[in-house]
Chains A and B, each alone.
Chain A
């Protein structure tokens, strides 16, 4: 059973370009989280999604950032008009959130390391 798959592993963008980060959760998991990790720092919550629904996006900047988790296909974190400050590692995690398993730990992907030049 494959774990959380993120791609690309590394992404280089020039200022002003768009970055699209993809995340396929563990098979059977219907809940996805995105976290951002700056160098030497902890993980900051960005957004929590269910299939076709954004449940909590309180950690996501209001401009330039958007996330989706369509009925079919991976979750996408999209950053428009990237700036140098967007350079970070972006981790996706998934959870089953099924009844009786509400406290299961998150399963993390290997992250996408975004560099904005």
Chain B
């Protein structure tokens, strides 16, 4: 059964610093997603990663996928306060329709 783990669970960082959130999954997956959730709000799709070596960037966020290591990373460059949110990764498997979510990383960027 597919399991997804994220670390760290909590991340407090200063504005302007860089950091990486890690997402490991336990079995073969053919798609990996990153979502953002603001407190009390819904989930917003950030990235879809479908192949080994895929890299996508949007503003200060960059996501990558290594299917051999079963690892995806979300890298934050020069963090700003507006990035404070909870970030989830989710993995899915071809032939099934389940999307399994990680536990989330709660990011707080301090001014």
Contacts and interface: CB of A to CB of B under 8 A. Distances in A.
The 3 A-B residue pairs whose C-beta atoms are closest, nearest first, are A105-B45, A42-B103, A43-B101
A63 interface: no
Contact of A45 (B42, B45, B99): B99
A12 interface: no
A12 B37 CA distance: 23
A56 B96 contact: yes
10 contacts: A33-B99, A42-B88, A42-B103, A43-B90, A48-B97, A48-B98, A106-B33, A108-B43, A108-B44, A109-B42
Interface residues of A, number: 25
Contacts of B100: 45
Contacts of A33: 99
B76 interface: no
Contacts of B50: 103
A42 B102 contact: yes
A76 B98 CA distance: 19
Interface of B: 30-31, 33, 35, 41-45, 48, 50, 88, 90, 92, 96-104
Contacts of A25: none
Interface majority SS (helix, strand, loop, mixed), chain B: strand
The residue among A33, A35, A42, A48 with the most chain B CB atoms within 10 A of its own CB is: A42
Nearest to A50: B97
A91 B98 CA distance: 15
Interface in A43-97: 43-45, 48, 55-56, 58-59, 91, 93, 97
A58 B43 CA distance: 22
A110 B35 CA distance: 14
A29 to B, nearest CB: 13
Contacts of A105: 33, 35, 45, 48
B45 A31 contact: no
B97 A103 contact: no
A91 B43 contact: yes
